[in-house]
Amino acid sequence: MNLVDKQAVQNKMTKRIISNRIMRQMFFLASIFGIVVLTVLLYRIFSEGLPYLDWRFLTSFASRFPAEAGIKAAIAGSVWLMSVTAPISLVIGVGTAIYLEEYAKENKFTQFIRMNISNLAGVPSVVFGLLGLTVFVRLMEMGRSIIAGGLTMSLLILPIIVVSSQEAIRAIPKNQYEASYAMGATKWQTIRRIVLPAAIPGILTGGILALSRAIGETAPLLMIGALSFIAYLPENIWSGFTVLPIQIFNWTGRPQEEFHLVASAGIIVLLIILLLMNSIAIVIRNKFSKRY
Amino acid sequence: ACNNTGDSEKSRDEEGTSNTDQHTRAETTEVVVDGSSTVFPIMEAVAEEYQKENQGARVNIGTSGSGGGFEKFAAGETHISNASRPIKKEEKAALEKADIDYTEFQIALDGLSIVINKKNDWVDQLTVEELNKMWSADGNVTTWADVREGWPDEEIQFYSPGADSGTFDYFSEVVFGEEGDIRQDASLSEDDNVLVQGVTGSKNGISYFGYAYYAENKDQLKAVPIVNDSGEAVKPNQETVQSGKYNPFARPLFIYVKHSTLKNESVYNFAKYALENAGAMAESVGYVAKPDSAYEKALIRLDEIAGK
Amino acid sequence: MTVNVKEIMNEKKLNQHFLRILEKVVPVFFLLCAIISVLTTIGIILTLLVETITFFNRVSFGEFITGTEWWPFGENASYGILPLISGTLLITGIAMIVALPIGLASAIYLSEFASPKVRKVVKPVLEVLAGIPTIVYGFFALTFVTPILQLVIDDLPIFNALSPGIVVGIMIIPMIASLSEDAMSSVPNHMREGALALGSTRLEVALKVVVPAALSGIIGSFLLGISRAIGETMIVSVAAGSTPKLTTDVTESIQTMTSYIVQVTLGDASYGSTIYYSIYAVGMTLFVFTLIMNLLSQYISSRFKEDY
Amino acid sequence: MNTATDRKPVSIIKTNEPIKEETKTIYMVNNFNLWYGENQALYEVNMGIPMNKVTAIIGPSGCGKSTFIKALNRMVELVPSVKMTGTIKYNDNDIFSSKYKVEDLRTSVGMVFQNPNPFPKSIYENVIYGPKTHGIKRKKILDEIAEKSLKEAALWDEVKDRLHENAFGLSGGQQQRLCIARCLAIEPDVILMDEPTSALDPISTTKIEELVQNLKKDYSIVIVTHNMQQAARISDKTAFFLNGEVIEYNNTDELFSNPNDKRTEDYITGRFG
Amino acid sequence: MNTATDRKPVSIIKTNEPIKEETKTIYMVNNFNLWYGENQALYEVNMGIPMNKVTAIIGPSGCGKSTFIKALNRMVELVPSVKMTGTIKYNDNDIFSSKYKVEDLRTSVGMVFQNPNPFPKSIYENVIYGPKTHGIKRKKILDEIAEKSLKEAALWDEVKDRLHENAFGLSGGQQQRLCIARCLAIEPDVILMDEPTSALDPISTTKIEELVQNLKKDYSIVIVTHNMQQAARISDKTAFFLNGEVIEYNNTDELFSNPNDKRTEDYITGRFG
Ligand SMILES: Nc1ncnc2c1ncn2[C@@H]1O[C@H](COP(=O)(O)OP(=O)(O)OP(=O)(O)O)[C@@H](O)[C@H]1O
Ligand SMILES: Nc1ncnc2c1ncn2[C@@H]1O[C@H](COP(=O)(O)OP(=O)(O)OP(=O)(O)O)[C@@H](O)[C@H]1O
Ligand SMILES: [Mg+2]
Ligand SMILES: [Mg+2]
Ligand SMILES: O=P([O-])([O-])[O-]
């Protein structure tokens, strides 16, 4: 007895295959939608900003003349900020990840920490800005310094780093641990000599992506009050500073049309830095990805 | 209290106190300026020139807004505070409490420009009363016809700077005085360029903002002549603003200088330089200079305070 | 040439006390790291709470939570958060209408149809898209998307919820696409094989097997996207205007909680004013919102978790 | 209606009756070569697969068994780097011809995998997945199909009271029979099985072996196994693969009792593998 | 110096000489039970493991072979849900006693796993991982250890010119011998091997089997295998596990030629598994 009408199945087949084809095109269009938007966006920015982008632009301080305005202080500020944020967030983030993956017992407290981290990942950056303003700038009297900005940013990207480090650690096959333990290695020896080296590509990739987020953040730094004009380079973590997005924001607020073009040039610089950071992440991912 | 440099950080630790009147600043070469974002471009220009002429000089400028600036000024964190409005009572009190003596200097003028769309060919001039009627929260103006007989029966679109800005303060002060509130259905934006976009994009738009934003967009916007106290309808431009003919919307811009910090050579030099050049710098960034005599008087006053 | 490894190892064991101590100290250090994230949350809550309490000493909680008007400026200030919440939800809603279908469709394409080569190119491009600073998107919304929309919708004001909503949506597409793709590509291949071997087309495999199996990850990405949309600041500040309004009309200018906070920090409110405290109350509301979103997402992902 | 329960149990010990000449060949493989990228995995395979019989494929790990059986329903093409030469004819149709739709082929040729791979849905949904996909919507028919297929797969009695529970709740052996039921639901002509019992316990294995014996009345079955005893017990014909080549292909009892090739002999006596 | 190369090859075919009474028992397992959470995986295991002999553990998949051998060096404790009762004595020390450090136990008892698991480091680094972990730092000593261990594992000749290349560049069989070398580097007394050849080709398998034969002079070896021929070829004693129980434990030739238990017989004749 045949319950499946083969002929009917046959008849429906063509329709199914066609709808497969059509939807495939739809999905394809959807995924290039993002790329098209990106192209439009980049086209506008580049056509406006490129004429202003030259060596002088990179090596001059801000100026009231659009043609003389440069982005040196902002680049230096961003670099300083990142060099505070990167080590702090990496150490704490990786430490947290190691704790959660290697040491934590499955109990309420651990669950709480996990929940807390994924919750922090969703907290808007303005709220971190309020935290930074109240705790670092005011309460701890750090002022509007690089260290205050750097700490705020560290906390902001901490959850991203924790999660990506956790994933990197989790991706290490069990058999690597077994091999090390079976040799009589202690837990810390195993972590230091097997786990960390193997997880470093994943950690760095996640770290770089997190830093790219930090380098483009405007709102929290506006809130803790990064400077708008500074015509010398920061000397230490207590110095005042400005960063790329703030400088860009400042230029876009100017009445003179040329400053808006200068802002585009600033955006190009920021995008190039982002692209560089992303490429480094990809290179690391490809180069060091271990084939177990 | 807080600092922006390592040097001052160190000396603070040595003193072990966080007194509000920071002598510590006297040792540093850094000049710290903060306050109004409206005044910022002028002071940025001054600082730029100053640093060109004095190698190694260090000036940094923040844009916390006039109020934010006074707050830092009272906390002893800054030497000079920029403001787009005169200091308020509470701010005075705070400075007094912190034992800070200061002097106010007017460094430039800004002609608050009331602007409309290029295609708007009916509005030839406006009086302050009409503005009051238009912008009032409890006025019943929705269309141009409600403002003046004969104007088209089309809905007005209101654009206004953020209610938290000095420009907004000044405008509502002039138009409403102590009583009355500005209408709340206006589109507000913190960014004056965004307002420019707003009026450029809508035929029935009206807005007001600093002269520079109008001057830069003359080809896209029209400034409305405003009837001044002598009954004359005046358009904002360098001359009418400086001479005071464009009133009541010509507003002064200020810097406030802390007396004790003038002992510090770098602050004194910078303040002096600022007063000497503010006029020229203001013009170069789209504001209006005060008459030369005003700056001369200000410089004498500065030297008096500094004891020179 | 034989070395007696065992003997050497035994000798070494004697001076390995240091290692034993290390073995005890290290976990404590890592625990401290983990606790910092908890401290951050506590810090956020305390920060917000202290100032929020001050705020509620001046403004009644009832007014705050039920008031339909948000106008913290001028004489008769009113602090009803509902307009800010409605603005936030409006932006989030529009963003989701844009981002969910496109993001999910891209994810399906990348995970189920694209060749590995295409995936290798498209995914990083999407990630770059995710990295563009939001301020850039803000001006894109104001100067590109809004004019285009104005061609379609006749009297669309320059500030409206629609344009920034769409752009926020565009901004989170990469995130949703990337995370959903991760979830779908972690569905084991043998599931797909099972369905394909029954004569399913790729589309049927994607929709009937892969998407249901990856549902928890996909929903997780949606909820994260919603969190991002709720928390987005700069796009809305630039392109939506700053007009708190209790409305569901997407063509109107609105204000969100985040853009209010930025407005005030950029503005002139002085420390200690009610406006100043209000940003903490708004921040608290925002925090509670994202907290709810996250708890919801954790509940859902534990609910729908499939173990294959 | 054919159900597993109303048949008398069949001995799982290999019968020694000689296999009669095949009536019909359902698959004809000619000079078939297959590469994964640069690496050749199958070399000049020639093989006819008989209808309504059980054909076993044996050989050591990595010899190409899975690759071969996946070529029969073109599942191997899921690996993008795959290249092929030669022909495979199914019922005299070239399966690689552009006229022949791969979905059609896979509808007639069911497949059961090494590891049970039910969908994360209910038992019932799993079984009717195929028919539903192929456009059958009426609840009544679907119910009947589900019952019939589960009975054929000898699973009905064990699951009839929990049809709407998640399939992951079943034991490994039950899951594998569910996958067989799922494959029977679309009434294929051929069933390909890739080591269907290698992940199962002895008792489940026995059940599946019995099932295969029952199914061959209605279906042609190709089964890959690394367990030579299993091949000997249940198959009619056996092919021995080594390094991508068919070393020997013969009636099962002959191949095991009297291998023609030294390598076959080494393998079946456990000399390697 | 013992190297694989200067020994004469040993036949890998099982010798039929009777095994003499063991001189010494290195492991003594008494009434050992083990649970993964609620599920009991080992039931009342009693077994003495002889010194300098090869002991094979056979049984169908899931019967607890891996669990048992991992209990011997307490690796099984890496699964947090594990609970145990009974005793295991190693050289008369209770391995679960709090006085006995688990790192010490694992230093004396090496382990080789089913899938070769070298570290993603150079060949050299892999071998000296253990000695370095135990505090040996002098380059000269480490070099000597590396050479000696690689020779013992019969890998030296193949890798001596590429010691500083990544271990993943080796073939599966070479990787497995590298893992053996890595384990020999800390000079353990016992080597536990969990299906060390199941992922390998026949030639590599033969090499490893020879190696095991050579190593038993100096080491006590416990080897898990699913390949009965292998057990028969290389071991002195064999234990047959089924569902977590030791069904039979005897000298290898006796167990295979004359099993006491029906289930053993069924298993070794390929009736299931
Ligand atoms: N997706 C793939 N890409 C590249 N090579 C592959 C792929 N799948 C299999 N191979 C290679 O093709 C050869 C045959 O593999 P196949 O899986 O067919 O072997 P098998 O006989 O089924 O082995 P087993 O008993 O282990 O399942 C092997 O050398 C294998 O490495
Ligand atoms: N980590 C674990 N958690 C829970 N149960 C486990 C775990 N590891 C093994 N088991 C269970 O313990 C029993 C014995 O498993 P074990 O791995 O020891 O079997 P085995 O004889 O080594 O099988 P194989 O030949 O497949 O390796 C099995 O039922 C298995 O499901
Ligand atoms: Mg296979
Ligand atoms: Mg095992
Ligand atoms: O920044 P303002 O005070 O000038 O608005």
Spans of all domains in chain C: 5-57, 70-304
d(CA E15, CA D272): 18
Interface residue A187 vs chain C (CB under 8 A): yes
Convert the pLDDT of each residue in C79-125 to its tens digit.
899 999 999 999 999 999 999 999 999 999 999 998 888 888 887 77
- Asked if the A56-290 domain carries CATH number 1.10.3720.10, the reply is yes
Q: Is B216 buried (19+), middle (13-18) or exposed (0-12) by CB count in 10 A? A: buried
For chains B and D, tell me whether 3 or more CB atom pairs sit within 8 A of each other: no
Put simply, the answer to whether A95 touches C30 (Cβ < 8 Å) is yes
Spans of all domains in chain A: 6-52, 56-290
Confidence of residue B180 (pLDDT cuts 50, 70, 90): low
Residue D228 Cα, ligand 1 centroid: separation in angstroms?
19
Ligand 1 near D112 CB (within 6 A): no
Task: Please state the three-class secondary structure of C167-213 as a single string.
Answer: HHHHHHHHHHHHHHHHHHHCCCHHHHHHHHCCCCCHHHHHHHHHHHH
Convert the pLDDT of each residue in A244-274 to its tens digit.
988 888 888 888 888 888 988 998 998 888 8
Confidence of residue B2 (pLDDT cuts 50, 70, 90): very low
Percentage with pLDDT > 70 across chain D: 89
d(CA A233, CA A78): 11
The answer to whether residue C51 scores a pLDDT higher than 60 is yes
Q: Encoding tokens for residue B155? A: 């809905």
Ligand 1 near D65 CB (within 6 A): yes
> What are residue B101's phi and psi, to 5 degrees?
-95, 145
- Asked if the C70-304 domain carries CATH number 1.10.760.10, the reply is no
| D3 closest CA partner among D140, D154, D126, D107 | D154
Sign of CA dihedral B34, B37, B42, B44: positive
Ligand sitting nearest the alpha carbon of E226 = 2
Interface residue D173 vs chain C (CB under 8 A): no
- What DSSP string runs through D41-55? EEEEEEEEEETTSEE
Q: How far is C196 from chain D (nearest CA, A)?
A: 7
Q: What is the reported pLDDT for B193?
A: 83
Residue B42 · residue B108 · CB < 8 Å: yes
The answer to whether residue B275 scores a pLDDT higher than 50 is yes
Convert the pLDDT of each residue in C147-165 to its tens digit.
899 899 887 888 889 999 9
Q: How far is D197 from chain E (nearest CA, A)?
A: 10
E67 Cα nearest atom in ligand 2: 18
Chain A residues with CB-CB distance to E133 below 8 A: 180, 183-185, 189, 193
Task: State the DSSP H helix or E strand holding residue B99, giving kind and residue range, or none if neither.
Answer: none
- What DSSP string runs through A133-156? IIIIIIIT---S-HHHHHHHHHHH
Q: What is the reported pLDDT for D12?
A: 40
Stretches in chain E below the pLDDT threshold 70: 1-23, 199, 270-273
| Maximal CA-CA distance, chain A | 88
Ligand 5 near C307 CB (within 6 A): no
Residue B110 · residue B287 · CB < 8 Å: yes
Ligand 2 near E41 CB (within 6 A): yes
CA of residue B52 relative to chain centroid, distance:
25
Instruction: Give me the amino acid identity at A129.
Output: G
**What average pLDDT does range D23-44 have in this prediction?**
92
Chain C residues with CB-CB distance to A103 below 8 A: 27, 30-31
Higher pLDDT, A34 or C288: C288
**What average pLDDT does range A68-80 have in this prediction?**
90
Residue C70 · residue C245 · CB < 8 Å: no
What is the set of domains in chain D, with CATH numbers? 5-268 (3.40.50.300)
With a cut of 0.85, is the ipTM above it?
Answer: no
Residues 6+ apart with CB under 8 A from A21: none
Residue D235 · residue D252 · CB < 8 Å: yes
Q: What is the reported pLDDT for D208?
A: 85
Ligand 1 near D176 CB (within 6 A): no
Residue D181 Cα, ligand 1 centroid: separation in angstroms?
27
Sign of CA dihedral B58, B63, B64, B65: positive
For chain C, the 3-state helix, strand and coil shares in percent, each to the nearest 5, are 75, 0, 25
The preferred substitution site among D32, D34, D39 for testing ligand 1, maximizing ligand atoms within 8 Å of CB, is D39
Convert the pLDDT of each residue in D86-106 to its tens digit.
999 999 899 998 888 888 899
Ligand 1 near D78 CB (within 6 A): no
Chains touching chain B at 3 or more Cβ pairs under 8 angstroms?
A, C
Q: What is the reported pLDDT for B262?
A: 87
